[in-house]
A = this chain, B = another copy of it.
């Protein structure tokens, strides 16, 4: 114990926390000795008293970590300065497992829970609505009166299509995932608003092979071919780019392609590298982290859904305006 090294016991606490009255010299001495012997207060004991464990839980059903990892990075980034550590709990759509993890976190007196997933329109398989700790939802559907952070897919899609239009493209097709996904419908809606109904929307699945196949379908049709493809995610875009290359269609000279997600492993390795929409998941995580912290500290937070803007990542699959490759 640090106090043994110094002179007292409760004085040590006050010295280290800069509270209470005491001689400046005593305070300094205690601090110095504490530093020398590497004293660090026991967070368990502290938490027992303060009702704050400086710990939060991150619950996710995203096994691949495609969405969870950036969110986690943002949370951790925002909270490490506040001394908060994060329990990561991967529940694989298994309600029983989810409940076990939630119980374990509550037992450990987490200050709050962030729920995240892989889909904006699905709930985690566990009810978090009546916990006595704050819950924030990020990239998953929240409950009534909760705080939910999500990407603004409509704005992201608009960004992409407007970029294509500005580049002079007029026959912009949209290849995307299953229509039952909320974000698919949102992105398609924005696409229609900006591009009109000149080209069809092709719904499919989230895979490269679907992107490949969709291009086959489009190019087999009679009449003019699209001069741009806005794809629902990077995998579809990659499949599309591969299919175009095999057909001898040049990207970006003949056709511009834009993806969605900015999943580097896919987007950056495509030839040419994909221009794509980044959902800024790290920023989303950062805000979710700060919000759950605010709630844990009792600061008021307005409930509701916060849409965070996406950002266009320009690579070579579309060419840059500056370089004039899109023209």
User: Which listed residue, B86, B89, B103, touches A40 by the CB 8 Å rule?
Assistant: B103
A101 within 8 A of B: yes
**Chain B: which residue is nearest A97 at the CB level?**
B80
Do the beta carbons of B83 and A104 come within 8 Å of each other?
yes
A105 within 8 A of B: yes
- A37-73 vs B: 1/0 string, CB under 8 Å? 0001111110110000111011000011100010011
Bound Cα distance A264, B265 (Å): 12
What residues of chain B lie closer than 8 Å to A8, measured between beta carbons?
A: none
A310 within 8 A of B: no
What residues of chain B lie closer than 8 Å to A228, measured between beta carbons?
A: none
Do the beta carbons of B55 and A269 come within 8 Å of each other?
no
What residues of chain B lie closer than 8 Å to A32, measured between beta carbons?
A: none
Shortest Cβ distance from residue A73 to the other chain B in the assembled complex, whole angstroms = 6
What residues of chain B lie closer than 8 Å to A72, measured between beta carbons?
A: 88, 90
Shortest Cβ distance from residue A113 to the other chain B in the assembled complex, whole angstroms = 12
Bound Cα distance A105, B42 (Å): 11
What residues of chain B lie closer than 8 Å to A85, measured between beta carbons?
A: 57, 87, 89, 101, 104-105, 108
Do the beta carbons of A107 and B43 come within 8 Å of each other?
yes
What residues of chain B lie closer than 8 Å to A108, measured between beta carbons?
A: 43-44, 53-55, 85
A305 within 8 A of B: no
- A74-117 vs B: 1/0 string, CB under 8 Å? 00100010010111111000000100110111111100000000
Bound Cα distance A90, B42 (Å): 23
Do the beta carbons of B80 and A40 come within 8 Å of each other?
no
What residues of chain B lie closer than 8 Å to A57, measured between beta carbons?
A: 85
What residues of chain B lie closer than 8 Å to A73, measured between beta carbons?
A: 63, 90
- A137-172 vs B: 1/0 string, CB under 8 Å? 000000000000000000000000000000000000
A235 within 8 A of B: yes
The answer to whether A80 and B100 touch (CB under 8 A), given A48-B45, A265-B64, A269-B235, is: yes
What residues of chain B lie closer than 8 Å to A65, measured between beta carbons?
A: 65, 69
What residues of chain B lie closer than 8 Å to A89, measured between beta carbons?
A: 76, 85
- A171-206 vs B: 1/0 string, CB under 8 Å? 000000000000000000000000000000000000
A247 within 8 A of B: no
Shortest Cβ distance from residue A50 to the other chain B in the assembled complex, whole angstroms = 10
Bound Cα distance A90, B68 (Å): 13
What residues of chain B lie closer than 8 Å to A207, measured between beta carbons?
A: 269
Known: A80-B104, A86-B88, A212-B271. 18 other contacts (CB 8 A): A40-B103, A40-B106, A41-B107, A42-B48, A42-B109, A43-B108, A43-B109, A44-B109, A54-B108, A63-B69, A63-B73, A64-B69, A69-B69, A76-B89, A76-B90, A209-B271, A265-B265, A265-B266
Task: List the interface of chain A (C-beta within 8 A of B).
Answer: 40-45, 47-48, 53-55, 57-58, 63-65, 69, 72-73, 76, 80, 83, 85-90, 97, 100-101, 103-109, 207-209, 212, 235, 242, 264-266, 269, 271
